[in-house]
Amino acid sequence: MPKKNIYLITPNTLDRSFYHFLPKLLKLNRIAYLQVRLKNLSRNKLIKEIKKINKIVRNKTKVIINDFPDIADLLKCDGCHLGQEDPQLQLVKNKFKNLKIIGATCHNSKKLALNSIKKGASYVAFGSFFKTSTKKVKFKANLSLLRWAKNKIKKPVVAIGGINDENYKTLLNNGANLIACSSFVWKNKKYNPLQALKKLK
């Protein structure tokens, strides 16, 4: 059985190509989480896209909504992902009891990670480990942080930022449970999304 260690993040725009490849990617049985990260849509449009994704996914992976716990709860998604600027984890946990998974961005901070776990985070995400075109890098994380987390954090650890077929193994070998991918899969000039995901064996 292939290992489910891919934390796939959607591209910023969901076009025909995205909906064409998503079912094919799910068939590989590698995606542990699919994070819907759409920053520039109206609430109604976002809800429409998530409903469409939910129909395709149907228990093949966990659907996580970035930033909007209320929408995740409304559409019965598996969970939500919170950045440090988002509503406090504790508040979200208390208010939306049906959300099974609440992930937390912890940048490169041990303190944020320990605090998030204490407040009930289901997983922590560290990064950026490498240069990324998905968003502006404010925080740089290193491999020693992953090694520390492997010993101290008893929840899944997600590595994020600029991950590709040349560097992903280093992260997994140093303690990351999941590798977050977006640009390498969706915006790859060399491979289509299916070929790209197959490269992360």
The SS3 assignment for 72 reads helix
Indicate the helix (H) or strand (E) that contains 166. Answer: none
Q: pLDDT grade, residue 157 (50/70/90)?
A: very high
**What pTM did the predictor assign?**
0.95
Average pLDDT, the chain: 95
Residue ranges of alpha helices (H) inside the chain are 16-27, 43-57, 69-74, 89-95, 110-118, 143-152, 168-173, 183-186, 193-199
Place of tokens 């064409």: 20
pLDDT, average across residues 1-7: 86
Mean pLDDT of 97-107: 96
* Domain architecture of the chain: domains with CATH: 6-199 (3.20.20.70)
Does residue 63 contact residue 39 with C-beta atoms inside 8 Å? Answer: no
Residue at 197: amino acid letter: L
In this predicted structure, what is the pLDDT of residue 136? 67
Query: 183 phi and psi, to 5 degrees?
Result: -55, -40
141 pLDDT higher than 80: yes
DSSP, res 185: H
Look at residue 153 in the predicted model and tell me its pLDDT: 96
